[in-house]
Amino acid sequence: MVQLLGGELNSKGIDLRKALSRIKRSIWVYHINTGSCNGCDIEILDVLTPYFDVERFGIKLVASPRHADLALLTGPITIKTFSKVYRALNAMPRPRFVLAIGSCAVGGNIWFESYSTLGGFPKALEMFSEMGLEIDGVVYVPGCPARPEAIIYGAATLLGLQKPKTRYRRFKA
């Protein structure tokens, strides 16, 4: 079983490809809205429509997590939805991947310190690993909302078509 957690995706890029090679054909995606404002959700729908047409990559939206290889997760994960996110991700077959879309899912956005949200997928990821749920890879897609191209870029990063550009930077003033 390939062990790959979100943070190690870059350093173990080869392993990721190995894991992904187990998906013989197209990636099927399942959309989980965890309390987002719908901005990212309509951009996800936009990606499926003529101008961006993500089916070019064989990516298809499915209605059940049991059919999905990749979860498109939007929203800051409100506490009311947390258990449902767990169950949806748990229902996905291995290898399971998550594309955390939008500022909410990546860093909690403007509500990262609200009483009723968890504040982003990284926080949930810690709990999932405590609860024994393994996620084989996470790609974070910042943007508020993430524009369709950014979502495609994220998917391309996951597929290994693109190398991520962003790097941690530290400057001296």
Residue among 1 and 132 whose Cβ is closer to another protein: 132
Find where tokens 């810690």 sit: 126
Nearer to another protein, 22 or 161 (CB): 161
By C-beta, is 60 or 164 nearer to another protein? 164
Q: Cβ contacts of residue 62 below 8 Å, gap of 6+?
A: 28, 29, 30, 68
Q: Which is nearer to another protein, 26 or 38 (CB)?
A: 38
Q: Rounded to an integer, what distance in angstroms lies between the CA atom of residue 36 and that of residue 55?
A: 24
In angstroms, give the least distance from the CB of 1 to another protein. 19
Q: How far is the CB of 19 from another protein (least distance, A)?
A: 12
Residue with Cβ nearer another protein (36 or 95)? 36
The distance of closest approach from Cβ of residue 66 to another protein in the complex, given in angstroms and rounded to an integer, is 6
- 31 DSSP β-pair partners: 72
The CB-of-109 to another protein minimum distance in angstroms stands at 5
Least separation in angstroms between residue 35's CB and another protein is 4
Report the C-alpha dihedral over residues 111, 113, 118, 119, rounded to 10 degrees.
60
User: Which are the contacts of 107, defined by CB distance < 8 A and separation ≥ 6?
Assistant: 119, 120, 122, 142
> Is the CB of 1 or the CB of 131 nearer to another protein?
131
CA–CA distance, 153 with 151 (Å, rounded to integer): 5
Structure-block tokens of residue 44: 């996800």
**The residue type at 86:** Y
Q: Answer whether 128's CB lies under 8 Å from 83's CB.
A: no
Distance in Å, CB of 166 to another protein, minimum:
5
Residue 97 neighbours by CB distance under 10 Å: 27
